[in-house]
Amino acid sequence: MPAPGPNAPLRLPPMCIRCQTGRVAWSKPRVDVCYQCLPGGPFTPPPCTSCGSRETYFSQGLCVRCHPRGPEHLGSCIGCLAWGVYPQYRLTCWTCRTWRTRYPEGVCKYCGRFSRIGEQQACRLCLEQARLVQEPGRPLDLAAANSHGQQLFFANLVSKRPHLPGPRQSLAEPAPKRPSPPTRQPVRRRCLAPGTAVRRHT
């Protein structure tokens, strides 16, 4: 466990014992009520000591976005390190939540992280990196794709790449030519002698 101190992570503050809707105003020194329920109140909460917001105070001098345990505080997924997950979802993106029900914990063969390990002995971060640099029509090369690190991404925004049967056409290659239309032959005409009867089809 991390040692206590000014830089130690803040714990989730308890609920106000009076209204049971807000968090306690502060924890050190400890109080059991929020700013609305303080004796002599209600009082207006102070601005956030981190961003200066006055509308979304949470507890311990911080708002709901700046407090590490606030409901709107963004963090990185504990599974794939993707940015943009909330504490109420246990700091886990949607895909990694599925991985937690399917794959066991272990050490990734390619990056050495302790995480959920899939069928290819790789964590989800290494798998997504291999898919990112995968050439169309070729199998995944997890070792080569993760030899120089991984590209992080935003949570819940990874989309599947279309599967192509072969390599893409180079821009330098000329486009295939369309077949030319058939050549038309001119119709031969002749003049009839005066008085010659013309046969018409009915």
pLDDT greater than 90 at residue 117: yes
Secondary structure letter of residue 158 according to DSSP:
-
Residues 6+ apart with CB under 8 A from 164: 136, 137
Which pTM was predicted? 0.54
* Per-residue model confidence as pLDDT tens digits over 51-69: 888 878 888 888 888 887 8
pLDDT in tens, 127-182: 999 998 888 888 888 999 898 888 888 888 865 554 444 444 444 555 566 666 66
The encoded tokens of residue 142 equal: 């997890």
Structural contact between residues 85 and 93, judged by C-beta atoms closer than 8 angstroms? yes
Parse the chain into domains and list their residue ranges: 11-73, 75-145
- Integer Cα distance of 160 and 196 in angstroms: 78
What mean pLDDT, rounded, does the chain reach?
79
* Coil, helix or strand at residue 23: strand
Structure tokens at 178: 């369309």
**Residue whose token pair is 């239309």:** 181
Q: Are 17 and 11 in contact (CB under 8 A)?
A: no
- Residue pointed to by tokens 């030319």: 180
The rounded percent of the chain whose pLDDT value lies above 90 is 16
Q: Name the strand (E) or helix (H) holding 126.
A: helix 124-132
